[in-house]
Amino acid sequence: MRAGTPVTHGAVMLLPIERVVLHSGRGDDRGSTRVWFSAIKEPYALIVRDAGGLWAIDTDAAAVSLEALRQRVPELDTVLAAM
């Protein structure tokens, strides 16, 4: 997981949190083994800083623990300090 680039709209600051999902597979094709890998970035959560303070929501629009995000995103405190 990693923090993206903060976006400011008026007095509201938004910080997207994304996760990288890795996929791999292996299969046989005409007698030879083939291996494949792919990676995609997915939205995971959104941190909002507004007049009400600092809070986070996940991609299902449910509240998520900011402390849990701090544990999973090592650079989060640095990015938040710059917001």
pLDDT in tens, 40-58: 999 889 999 999 999 899 8
What is residue 21's predicted lDDT score, i.e. its pLDDT? 92
pLDDT more than 70, % of the chain: 100
In angstroms, the CA 63 to CA 31 distance is: 50
Cβ(47)–Cβ(17) under 8 Å? yes
- The answer to whether 19 touches 42, Cβ cutoff 8 Å, is yes
Q: Within 10 Å of residue 80's Cβ, how many Cβ atoms?
A: 19
pLDDT at residue 64 is higher than 90: no
pTM of the model: 0.69
C-alpha span between 21 and 18 (Å, rounded): 10
For residue 78, which of 6, 21, 26, 29 has the smallest C-alpha distance? 6
